[in-house]
């Protein structure tokens, strides 16, 4: 087990040479562990019942058994849960310019691609306000985007709705874990 952990650590150490100074293996692991427990709790107690509801609705009302929207829904739930911390890649740095409103939204919607281009130096460093993804407005924009993406993937309003619901639950999970949204 220790050998496996060292192998993972060395893999991330090699990768981290390409990343900014703040993205160390320990920091990435710390952020993951911080949200993992709550994300799993939400998955079991909220997402699984939504999955069952979605499957029952599809089977009873539409007389279809479709598993692909569920699989994509689970994927976007976990993606949305951990997406929010990617805003730290766009901190103010020497030579960075402030992002326009359109750029901020595009960075939110396509964060992995934007980070790839930023790290490969194909685009100049862009600055967005600290914790820009950690807002209710960003959650609403991302959920709307997920609905449109779901409709493009499935060409079906109920499946697009459930896809967006999974994205919303994932985003909300992160905001609750960071105590930005308080649920009593």
pLDDT category at 184 given cuts 50, 70, 90 is confident
Cβ atoms 126, 103 nearer than 8 A: yes
Tell me the per-residue pLDDT of 24-73, one tens digit each, with 9 for 90 and over: 666 666 777 778 889 999 999 999 999 999 988 888 887 787 888 889 99
* DSSP strands (E only) in 21-174: 97-98, 126-127
Of all residues in the chain, what percent carry a pLDDT higher than 90?
44
The pTM assigned to this predicted structure is: 0.83
Q: Kindly tell me the burial class for residue 17, based on how many C-beta atoms sit within 10 Å of its own C-beta (0-12, 13-18, 19 or more).
A: exposed
Considering only 24-28, 33-37, 99-103, 144-148, which range has the smallest mean pLDDT?
Answer: 24-28
Q: Where do the structural domains in the chain lie, given as residue ranges?
A: 24-88+130-177
Q: 98 pairs with which residues across the strands?
A: 127
Q: Which pair of structure tokens corresponds to residue 95?
A: 């030579």
Strands (E), 12-154: 97-98, 126-127
Dist CA 84 CA 62 (whole Å): 35
pLDDT band at 123 (very low <50, low <70, confident <90, very high): confident
């Amino acid at each position: 087990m220790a050998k496996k952990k060292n192998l993972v650590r060395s893999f991330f150490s090699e990768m981290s040479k390409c990343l900014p100074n703040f993205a160390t293996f320990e920091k990435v692991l710390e952020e993951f562990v911080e949200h993992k427990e709550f994300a799993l709790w939400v998955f079991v107690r909220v997402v699984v019942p939504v999955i069952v509801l979605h499957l029952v609705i599809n089977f009873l009302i539409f007389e279809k058994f479709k598993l692909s929207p569920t699989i994509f829904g689970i994927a976007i739930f976990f993606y949305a849960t951990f997406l929010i911390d990617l805003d730290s890649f766009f901190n103010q740095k020497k030579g960075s310019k402030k992002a326009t409103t359109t750029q901020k939204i595009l960075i939110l919607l396509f964060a992995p691609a934007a980070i790839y281009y930023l790290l490969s130096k194909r685009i100049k460093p862009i600055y967005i306000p600290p914790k820009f993804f950690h807002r209710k407005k960003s959650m609403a924009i991302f959920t709307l985007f997920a609905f449109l993406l779901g409709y493009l993937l499935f060409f079906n309003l109920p499946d697009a709705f459930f896809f967006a619901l999974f994205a919303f639950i994932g985003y909300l999970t992160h905001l609750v874990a960071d105590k930005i949204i308080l649920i009593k």
